[in-house]
Every structure is written in C-alpha cells, then in structure tokens.
Amino acid sequence: MRASRSHLTAILRSAQAPTEEQLARFTGFLNKTYRREVPLQWEEDPSLQRGFRLQVGADLYDWTLDGRVRQFQDYLRRLQPGQSDILPLLRQAVDEWEAAVAPEEIGEVLSVDGEIAVVSGLRHAKYGEILLFQSGVKGMVQDLRTDSLSCILFGDSEDVCGGGMVRRTMKTAGMPVGDGFLGRVVDALGVPVDGRGPIEAETFRPIETPAPGILDRQSVNTPMETGLLAIDAMFPIGRGQRELIIGDRQTGKTAIAVDTILNQRGKNVICVYVAIGQKTSSVAQLHENLRRRGAMEYTTIITAPASAGAALQYIAPYAGCALAEHFMYQGRDVLIVYDDLSRHAIAYRALSLLLERSPGREAYPGDVFYLHSRLLERSARLSEALGGGSMTALPIVETQAGDVSAYIPTNIISITDGQIFLESELFFAGQRPAVNVGLSVSRVGGDAQTKAMKSAAGAIRLDLAQYREMEVFTQFSSDLDEATKRQLTYGQGLMRLLRQRQYDPLSQHRQVLLLTAALNHVMQDIPLPQLETFREGLFAFVEGEAAELCRRIDRTGQLPPEDREALLTLSRRYLRTYQERSGG
C-alpha cells in the first residue's frame, strides 16, 4: 500500500466524460489506495480515444490501450530472452498476462540546458536509472537533489522541452550483448551504425557493475602478445592486465593498439575497440583496415564520435566494458582498447560543469579519479571457479608536450599496471614504435612472458639504457676509443631492429630469432641501412631451414639450450651467406 501524502489531487483524463458509475469506482479506488479522500476532477483529452488515464501527484495509472500494450511489452521483456521459437513464448505470455493496476511514477521537465535535463516529481528515482521522456528520448539520472534530479540525455535535446512529461523505467543503463556483436560497429547504446541491419542480442548487461573481488581473481601469468618486439621483449603484457599507452598527439598510440588487435588472429581472443570523441572518418578507416586484414571477425568497434555529444562519449567505455565482461564471464579472453580516456575525462568534465558540480584541479570534478578507477578495475583474470576468463585493458591517454605529471595522466598511471610511454623525439626520428625505454614499465613483468621470450630477451633493456646514456655523453666528443664506438654501433643496431612497420606484428618465433641473433652480436657488422633487408632475409632463411623449430616455439613458448644454439647457428650461417652475396 502506498504511503499517504498531503495535498493530493487526482486528475482523470479521457476523450469522453465518465459516467457516474465510473466516477464512483475511481473514487473508491483512490480512497482505498491512498487511505484518504482524494479530490477527483476530470479533464478532456481528445488524444485518449480508448480508456482513461488517472494521475495522482507523481503517480500515473494508464488504463488506455497504449498503456496496456506497454505493460504487455514490459512483461514480454521480463521473460527469458534468447528463445529460438517465439510462438510458444507468445502463447504463454498471452495466457499468463494480466493487466496490473500499478502506478507509473511520472515527473515534469523543469529545464533543459545542453545535454542536461532537470526533472521534478520523480521522488523514488535512483542514480543511474534510465528515464523516458515524452518525445521518446532517453536519459540517465546523474544528480539527485531534495526537490529535483538532473539527468544526461541520449538523444537530441531539442526534442525535450520544459513542461514535458517524463516517466521512470525502473531499469539501470544497460548494453545489449552477445556473439552477434562480433564484426560489427555500434554506438554507445548498442545500436548498429555500420548499415548491416539490426543485431540480435543474447541478453542485456548493466554498463556499470562492481569489479571482481580479490578471491574472484587469479594471478596474471599468461602473455597477451602485441606482436611488437619493443613491447613483448621489454614490457610484456599479461591477460588480465591494465597497460596504459601514453604519449603526445600523433606518436603512434592507436597504432600499437591496432597492431595488438591484429596479432590476436587465431589466438581465440575477442577484441573490443572503444573510440571516444574521434572523427567518424577515422573510425571508418580503422574498420576498413581491420576488415581487410581479417581482424573484424573477432572484433567489435564501439564508437562515440565527437558529433555524438558528451553524454554518449561518457558512457561509451562502460558500454564497451559491459560487452567485454559478457565474454569474460563465459570463460573467454578479451582485449579492450579505450581510445582515449583523455577525451572521456573531458566529456565528463563538460557534463559535470553543466550539472553544477564544483570544479577542482584543471576544472575537473573531484570524482574524476573514480570515473576511471571503477572502469579499469573491472579488468581481471578470473579464477577457475568463475571460468578463468580474462579482460585485458589498453587505455590510451594523450599528453601535452610530454607532460606525464598532468592531472589525468597521473590519475590513470596510478590505476594501471604499467605504462608504455611514446616519445615525440623518437617518433620524429623514425623510431616506430617510439617507446621510451626509461619511462615505460610493466608491473607484471616476466610473469607474463613465455620462457622462450624471457630467455631470448636477456639484458636488452640494460643494453639499451647503457646505449642511451653513452649516446648523451658522447654526442659532443669526436675522439672515441674503439670499444666505445663498437658499443654505440651495437646500440644503434638494437634501436634499428626495434623499428617495425604498422600492421606487421611479429610472431613469437620471429621475435625470439631476432633477439637471439641481435644480443649475440650476429648483426654487429651489418650497416644500419641494410638491417631491414638482412632481417627479412633471416626470417625467410630460418623458416625454410627449420620450420618445425619455429612452429615448436610458437606452440610451446619454450626455448631449450639446444633450440637456442640451433637458432644461433642458423643466424651465423645466413650472415656468412649474406656477406658473401653482398661482397661484405
């Protein structure tokens, strides 16, 4: 029974005036429901051709044909989804459904400012609940106050005006999920935007859910190979890890994420790419590149372009995370890319200022850390009891002039398990990926490396660090001894070998081969301009001479001493052949 309220007035609307008998029944219903006498008045509404609509304060009882149809639709949605045969389901629904005498809580739009609507009357609405406006536009509650609430709008705000009616849906924001989304491009609400028709969802999943607890997780010890030698050798990423990709604009951040997606082909990994605030043409180009290389078969792109507005940009990464969680809790491995969280934070800042939340550092609200922590903490490798699935996150953050001490970069660095820092100077010098060895780190480290990669990588980070330091101290010196010159040549060769073309990730056996040969100075005397040619020839030679060895490395991730010696012997044989052919 609903609690009694003072100053209640009931308004009965219909196209035709009710009879005395009908008025008496309505009056009896009001007295019984609200335990008091409620004044009842009738208003003519020509749009209600069949039935009555009774409004009591914020409660709305809809006995019109449209209201009954809406009740029946809600009842159908509550039935178990995924039925292959709809006819038995409809027969069951028709037999079991009864029209309920239950009020809908409605409110009134007080004002609309940009993508924010202020609503009164919805006293029981909850944070994160979806509201439905009279025009059909949906909104999500974001701010609760004593006499009103504010919500963000997922549609054209011009369709929402002051004085309009808004009703509760009793549902929190959700994302349709299922295998049908693989290979598709959808918006932040799960609506396809690739022109290939609707997607049949298996179920709905809330876009915000609690992160798995400690007991629901297991250690991160399985590699998520990027196919990029500079990363897999020195900053390995594990399944379930959160590795930040950070750097200035146009330094190859997205390229690393895309190459990682391409490298998952045939590895039973599902990929979700979330594009936040990007140009539609950029997303279309990305989709085409992935499609031509066969990666869209296991990838979903969720886009909230710059033209979509701050509200959709705000929920886009959470929607992508909900889709990834669906697969993770099925025991599958998922890679999700958030490109990028800088734009996400800016969209949230815009909404927060419209919601009149107090700005703090760099005009961001105080809860901007929570904005990203509750998103990234959902990445995990689940325990075997929960299926053992994993979600690996690659958030991308853009810096200004390499300033990693800015508010958003420092926030996300403190949340993630390491960062790959891309340096502008290295990028413009032709070093791509432009990974800064000194500032990049993976806090999972060797636990996420195969034994073959760990054995082959050896002390490459130390060698590169020594080279960078020696390079700084010798750049003004013209008189160098032979040992120093040889060390510099060796370091320059390592840097050149770490260069990699985009859309060309390396398999594990190629990475192991390259590291084994380079760290044993097999390529020491190859001129830098010829290293690219030498590398491609080495791959072809070894794969032709020892195909089974290459397959064994890829399959087992092991590199016993005899296999390592075999790779080294083959590398030296090819070196001699190359030098004889080139006259070196």
DSSP assignment string, 17-52: PPPHHHHHHHHHHHHHHHSS---EEEEE-TT--SS-
Amino acid letter for position 564: R
pLDDT value, residue 297: 96
Kindly report the pTM of this predicted structure.
0.84
pLDDT value, residue 380: 96
443 is catalytic: yes
- 415, 242 Cβ separation under 8 angstroms: yes
* Below-50 pLDDT ranges, the chain: 1-4, 82-84, 86-87, 89-90, 97
Alpha-carbon distance of 447 to 233, in angstroms, equals 12
Q: Which residues pair with 392 in a beta bridge?
A: 335
Alpha-carbon distance of 507 to 547, in angstroms, equals 13
Alpha-carbon distance of 398 to 405, in angstroms, equals 12
Alpha-carbon distance of 243 to 223, in angstroms, equals 13
pLDDT value, residue 553: 95
Give how far Cα 96 sits from Cα of 79, 87, 272, 458, 582, Å: 11, 14, 40, 69, 84
Alpha-carbon distance of 142 to 162, in angstroms, equals 18
Residue 125, CA atoms < 13 Å, CB-side half-sphere: 35
Q: Which residues contact 575 (CB under 8 A, 6 or more apart)?
A: 522, 523, 526
Alpha-carbon distance of 484 to 290, in angstroms, equals 45
Q: What is the DSSP letter of 533?
A: H
Alpha-carbon distance of 107 to 160, in angstroms, equals 13
pLDDT value, residue 518: 92
- 250, 162 Cβ separation under 8 angstroms: no
CA-angle at 413, arms to 440 and 290, nearest 5°: 70
pLDDT value, residue 100: 55
Cis peptide before 305 (omega within 30 of 0): no
Amino acid letter for position 105: E
Q: Which residues contact 67 (CB under 8 A, 6 or more apart)?
A: 51, 53
pLDDT value, residue 406: 93
Q: Residue 97 has which token pair?
A: 């459904």
Alpha-carbon distance of 443 to 458, in angstroms, equals 18
Sheet with 299-304, edge to edge strand ranges: 185-186, 299-304, 269-276, 333-339, 390-398, 244-247, 418-422, 441-442
Alpha-carbon distance of 77 to 174, in angstroms, equals 14
pLDDT value, residue 18: 82
- 186, 196 Cβ separation under 8 angstroms: no
pLDDT value, residue 119: 93
Pairing of strands 53-56, 59-62: antiparallel
Residue 6 burial class via C-beta count within 10 angstroms: exposed 0-12, middle 13-18, buried 19 and up? exposed
Catalytic residue among 13, 443, 486, 499: 443
> How long is the chain?
584
